[in-house]
Structure 1
Amino acid sequence: MKTLNLVAAAAMTVALATPAVAQDKINWDMQSTYPGSLTQLGTLGKEIERRLAAVSGGDMQIKFQEPGAIVPALEAFDAISSGAVQAGWSTPGYWTGKDTAFALFAAVPFGPGAGEYYAWLKFGGGQELLDEIYGQYNIKSVICAIIAPEASGWFRKEINTPADLQGLKMRFFGLGARVMEKMGVSTQLLAGGDIFPALELGTIDATEFSMPAIDYNLGFYQVAKHYYFPGWHQQSTMFDLMVNKDEWEGLSDQGRAMIETVCEANVAHSLAEGEAIQFDALAKIEAEGVTIHRWNDEILDALRAGWDEVVAEEVASNPNFVKVWNSLSEFRANYAKWKAIGYLD
């Protein structure tokens, strides 16, 4: 009997020491809106694929699909909503055609830095609003990366006054595009891979896309020699893993927690990497004969005035925008008190 007890005790010890295995076994496609080779914008999506497979012991596979592999990049939303694709890698700002409130979960003109933005999402009511609005389209969104400030844009000619912007054709993203239209710029949203050909052929006169380390790899410096900062339209940008809501709800609590934990790790990775890779990229860009500019106060003031107009228009027309804007604004007003005393200027 004593021997049997020892055997039972040993078996229990082994069971307790054995790591838990993911209950869910999934093999999903993740349609990306960015090429997997693109610094941060694509590589962070690939990181989700790698990390989730690793922490689940291979049970949870989310296969990164290049743009167009299943559906074109900007058709991913509808494919995920319908269940034609289980998941996607993108940024909420691409879906303003569905609801302009999505833009407030991606990048806010003259908006918060990464720490403040993520704090609102996690603890200021942002995630609940994100769930509510995406849920209307049968999608669950998990914020899975945040990147450093972007550049303000690449221009063929030097811009010295607001009047210099009038009549330009420019690729622009999110609500910032609406602001540029207030400045007399004709804007269009192009996926990353379509921008350089349009710039080279003269279909557009200027473009913004991302941060220096990303822009450099896309070769914009070959065509446009004036590079402007700061990125007033994207002081930080959030990216998300979109999952068909039926698929998400079919996961166990453990499976959902595993995805959320991978995404939180990816946020930390994206922030650190994004801050670390910009200065080398700036040096390479300058070596290509590009002049790096900082917007003067006259232009920044004009852009801010344009943003105020856009907010007023959206508040008057979109109840979802009102809810998200009020939540973010209240959080930022409270955060400002802490920011003023807690941080050096």
Structure 2
Amino acid sequence: MDRRKFIKGSALGGVGAAGAALASPAIAQSMPKIQWRCTSSFPKSLDTIYGGAEDVAKYVSEATDGNFTIQVYAAGEIVPGLQAADAVSSGTVEMCHTAPYYYVGKNPAYALGATIPFGLNARGMHAWLYYGGGMDLVNEFYNSEGLHYIPAGNTGAQMGGWFRKEINSVADLSGLKMRIAGLAGNTMSKLGVVPQQIAGGDIYPSLERGTIDAAEWIGPYDDEKLGFYKVAPYYYYPGWWEGNLILNLFVNNDKWNELPDAYKSLLQTAGRAATIEMLAEYDYKNPTAIKKLVQNGTQLRPFPQDVMQACFEAANELYDELNASNPAWKKIFDSQMAFRGETYLWNQVAEYTFDTFMMVKQREGALATDG
């Protein structure tokens, strides 16, 4: 499929269809020259997650014949990665590409547009955002922070991270210094973990020096590129705090309101395309990467069930506290959790049954594989 034609047709089709009847000055006015800057929370070396912003910029430029251009800057080129949203709300840049849960220190409700512990998987998150009223709910909150939210990427379910020592029980978490983002850090702290907020590019040296004892990032493809297996041998799963992770664009409210409607539609469509692209790319690259990691000595470990249960209970305790104290959080959380119950009920019927059967066949060696 020609992406340029698809995106241009879906977002600007109304303009194109009326072209024969409009004078050229009217067309020019509908596609004005606009140049934006987008600061990313990620380094260029992480091509898949950083690439989400580049995909959006490419689609927008192609669909407007270069009239709407977005220059993407890596973390640190304009502001540090964890200050991307602040740069947008202050007007330093028009837009950023980030993960909303990086800003839970401002308000825990930020996390609900990204992911929360024991929340939705990728398909469930997309369903809630686009059909369950989630987009309007999160934007009601983000707009109050000077930001407009557009999903632009999803990693899928993540791994539980890299540990310098084995985790055999809940007691092994006590005193552990771990790089962990979002509300997962608040959850883990209830079990004795000391959470650390560290940007992606700084994780490896922190692990190598022993400044931290463990770190989570995303999954096999990015983690292998970052070399974590060289300094922390135990790779745990699943990342119960990230059954999915929405990456997003935050657009400055004033700049968003100034955009022509056709450009607004295009930016939203480009974000959807980037979300599909990122999830597909991780799904394609992670299988090869996990095999390479194991070949290099990585020791895969599932989190013990008592650890999973303790973390689940700690997350629910945190949610009870937030529901009692934070109305903005509660309004969004209640909607998301109502859908969580519905989507996992449905997932048990067709998807889970099919996937489980096929996984058994894979373990039996009945599926074609290169080993």
TM range (shorter): over 0.9
| The one of 68, 73, 77 aligned to 2:85 | 77
Equivalent in the alignment of 1:201: 209
> Which residue identity lines up with residue 320 of structure 1 in the other structure?
A
Equivalent in the alignment of 1:108: 116
- State the alpha-carbon separation in 2 of the partners of residues 91 and 175 from structure 1: 12
| The one of 127, 139, 144 aligned to 1:131 | 139
- State the alpha-carbon separation in 2 of the partners of residues 13 and 95 from structure 1: 43
Change (3 A) 1:25 1:163: same
Change (3 A) 1:295 1:118: same
> Which residue identity lines up with residue 225 of structure 1 in the other structure?
P
Aligned residue pairs total 334
1:40 aligned counterpart, secondary structure: helix
User: Displacement, 1:75?
Assistant: 1.7
User: Displacement, 1:13?
Assistant: 11
Q: Are residue 222 (structure 1) and residue 211 (structure 2) matched?
A: no
Q: Are residue 277 (structure 1) and residue 285 (structure 2) matched?
A: yes
Contact 1:146 1:236 in 2 (8 A): yes
Q: Are residue 92 (structure 1) and residue 96 (structure 2) matched?
A: no
Equivalent in the alignment of 2:183: 175
- State the alpha-carbon separation in 1 of the partners of residues 219 and 112 from structure 2: 19
Equivalent in the alignment of 1:4: none
2:249 aligned counterpart, secondary structure: strand
User: Displacement, 1:127?
Assistant: 0.6
Q: Are residue 310 (structure 1) and residue 315 (structure 2) matched?
A: no
User: Displacement, 1:15?
Assistant: 3.5
- State the alpha-carbon separation in 2 of the partners of residues 343 and 38 from structure 1: 31
> Which residue identity lines up with residue 148 of structure 1 in the other structure?
G
Change (3 A) 1:39 1:294: farther
| The one of 291, 311, 330 aligned to 1:322 | 330
| The one of 127, 137, 155 aligned to 1:147 | 155
| The one of 18, 31, 34 aligned to 1:26 | 34
Equivalent in the alignment of 1:7: none
Contact 2:85 2:98 in 1 (8 A): no
User: Displacement, 1:312?
Assistant: 1.1
Equivalent in the alignment of 2:346: 338
* Higher mean displacement: 67-76 or 257-266: 67-76
Percent identical: 36
- State the alpha-carbon separation in 2 of the partners of residues 48 and 13 from structure 1: 26
For 1:10-32, what per-residue CA distance to the aligned partner results, in whole angstroms no more than 9, with x for missing partners?
Answer: xx99947xx97761321111011
Larger radius of gyration: 1
- State the alpha-carbon separation in 2 of the partners of residues 292 and 97 from structure 1: 32
Contact 1:36 1:46 in 2 (8 A): no
- State the alpha-carbon separation in 2 of the partners of residues 256 and 285 from structure 1: 42
Contact 1:120 1:126 in 2 (8 A): yes
Equivalent in the alignment of 1:48: 56
Give the aligned CA root-mean-square deviation in angstroms: 2.1
Equivalent in the alignment of 2:14: none
User: Displacement, 1:36?
Assistant: 2.3
Equivalent in the alignment of 1:156: 164
User: Displacement, 1:337?
Assistant: 4.2
Q: Are residue 299 (structure 1) and residue 328 (structure 2) matched?
A: no
